[in-house]
A = this chain, B = another copy of it.
Amino acid sequence: MSTLVAVDLAKCYRLLNHGPTVLVSSAHGDQSNVMAAAWAMPLDFSPPKVLVVVDKATHTRQLMEASGEFVLNVPCRAQAEQVLKAGSVSGKDVDKFAVSGLEAVAGDKVAAPHVAGCIAYLECRIISEPHNQQQYDLFIGEVVCARADPDVWHDGHWQFDGHDDKRSLHYIAGGSFFSIGEQFSVQVDKAEN
């Protein structure tokens, strides 16, 4: 496993810009949990903010609301089975880290752990928006620390060529995923932005 390197917070939105499925990790007191979430994305560049939808019925929701923190982890193809397990049992009933085979690692700037083997993580502090949380199960987090795997993150961009096992996951339904595919560039004439 590679040691993750710090990501410039001004560019951390790029960790999520292409729409990967994430793992949400959280902790409060002596409890911790991890869940899979397809509904997460960037919200702002500076200070960097993210959105994630977390249902009221989840154990993760309780830990997030009690602690005011969460971590978005970007899992990879090698972890697809564990991600599906983390999305198909409840942390209210079992120790999800133990059941899924995912390993919690102590955080940098938040008490919530991140998940070993993921290709990136974004540590977040919740910006309290009670109406969004109650009405839409929608949480806003400010990113306070981000790290990524230098095997696939170079100069502020994902580059997965030669590392198929580390390609990001994009959940479909019913245990099916896409892995992210080919990278390509197009050019347009310079114009006003």
**Chain B hits for A137, CB < 8 A:** 44
A53 at the interface (CB under 8 A from B): yes
Give the distance to chain B from A86, nearest Cβ to Cβ, in Å.
Answer: 10
Copies of chain A in the complex:
2
Residue of B nearest to A81 (CB): B186
B39 and A192 within 8 A (CB): no
A49 closest partner in B (C-beta): B136
27 A-B residue pairs with Cβ-Cβ distance under 8 Å, sorted by A, are: A14-B173, A17-B39, A17-B170, A17-B172, A18-B38, A18-B170, A19-B20, A19-B41, A39-B41, A39-B42, A41-B41, A43-B53, A43-B136, A44-B136, A81-B187, A84-B187, A88-B188, A88-B191, A93-B192, A99-B191, A136-B140, A157-B172, A157-B173, A157-B176, A178-B182, A179-B181, A179-B182
- A sample of 14 more A-B contacts (CB under 8 A), given A17-B39, A17-B171, A177-B186, is A14-B172, A17-B172, A18-B170, A18-B172, A19-B41, A51-B51, A51-B138, A80-B186, A88-B191, A89-B191, A157-B176, A172-B183, A178-B181, A179-B181
A interface residues with partner B (beta carbon < 8 Å): 14, 17-21, 38-44, 49, 51, 53, 80-81, 84-85, 88-90, 93, 99, 131-132, 136-138, 140, 156-158, 167, 170-188, 191-193
